Amino acid sequence: FSGTPPRLCRAPGPPEGRLGAQGSVPPAQGLAAELRSLRARAEEAALSHEREARTLRDQAAAAAKQRDSALREAEDARAQLRLVTEARAAARRELLEAQREARDSREGREAERRQ
């Protein structure tokens, strides 16, 4: 392992050729077992990180969909607001025109009565 921390590379143990502290595992076998264990832990950590990364990517994609949906809804709301504002302005113009016509008609009738 090139990424193995120095403290693991210099693991304490009996000198080469002697038996381990319990007298049953030669140092090379102990180091090989430790290396297998470290590799297994590293693989497990890599798989765990990959699962977490996949979950985060999925969450980011879902958030992006929500954002896009919210942006579309906001644009639709703005478009509706523009339409309602235009309709209100048109209705106001019609009301003002109707009021003007009613006033003109009333003034015309009053003028006829005075004659």
Give residue limits of the domains in the chain. Answer: 24-114
Rounded distance between C-alpha atoms, residue 47 and residue 45, angstroms: 5
Cβ–Cβ under 8 Å, residues 14 and 31: no
Q: Are 27 and 13 in contact (CB under 8 A)?
A: yes
**pLDDT, position 4:** 52
* pLDDT over 60 (residue 12): no
User: What is residue 115's predicted lDDT score, i.e. its pLDDT?
Assistant: 82
34-71 per-position pLDDT tens digit: 999 999 999 999 999 999 999 999 999 999 999 999 99
Mind listing the pLDDT tens digit for each residue in 20-32? 455 566 888 999 9
pLDDT, position 27: 85
pTM above 0.85, yes or no: no
